[in-house]
Amino acid sequence: MIDIAIPKGSLQNQTLQLFEQAGLQVKRTEREYNARIDDPRIGKVKILRPQEIPGYVAKGYFDLGISGTDWIMESGAVVSRITELYYGKQGPGMVKLVVAVPESQDIHSAREIKPGSRVSTEYPNLTQAFFLGLGIPVEIQFSFGATEAKVPELTDVVVDLTETGSTLKKNGLKIIDVMLKSTSELIANKKSWADPVKHEEIVAVETLLSAVIRAKEKVLLKMNVPEEAMKAVAAMLPSMKNPTISKLYNSGYYAVETVVDRGVVNLLIPRLKKSGAEDILELAISKIVP
pLDDT, position 40 = 96
Contact in structure between 90 and 164 (CB atoms under 8 Å): yes
Domain residue ranges in the chain = 2-92+183-215, 95-181, 218-284
pLDDT, position 145 = 82
Instruction: Please give the DSSP secondary-structure letter assigned to residue 214.
Output: H
Mean pLDDT of residues grouped by 10 in the chain (290 residues)? Answer: 93 92 89 89 96 98 97 97 82 82 92 95 96 96 85 89 87 93 96 98 98 93 95 84 87 93 93 95 95
Q: Give 9-16's long-range contacts (Cβ < 8 A, gap of 24+).
A: 9/49, 9/50, 10/89, 11/50, 11/66, 11/68, 11/87, 11/88, 11/89, 11/184, 12/47, 13/89, 14/87, 14/88, 14/89, 14/91, 15/66, 15/87, 15/184
pLDDT, position 213 = 93
Domains 2-92+183-215 and 95-181 share a fold: yes
pLDDT, position 1 = 95
pLDDT, position 94 = 82
Out of 3.10.100.10, 3.40.50.2000, 3.40.190.10, 1.20.1050.40, select the CATH number for domain 95-181: 3.40.190.10
Which superfamily, per CATH, for 2-92+183-215?
Periplasmic binding protein-like II (3.40.190.10)
pLDDT, position 90 = 55
Out of 3.30.70.120, 3.40.50.12780, 3.40.47.10, 3.20.20.70, select the CATH number for domain 218-284: 3.30.70.120
pLDDT, position 240 = 64
Q: Which amino acid is at 46?
A: K
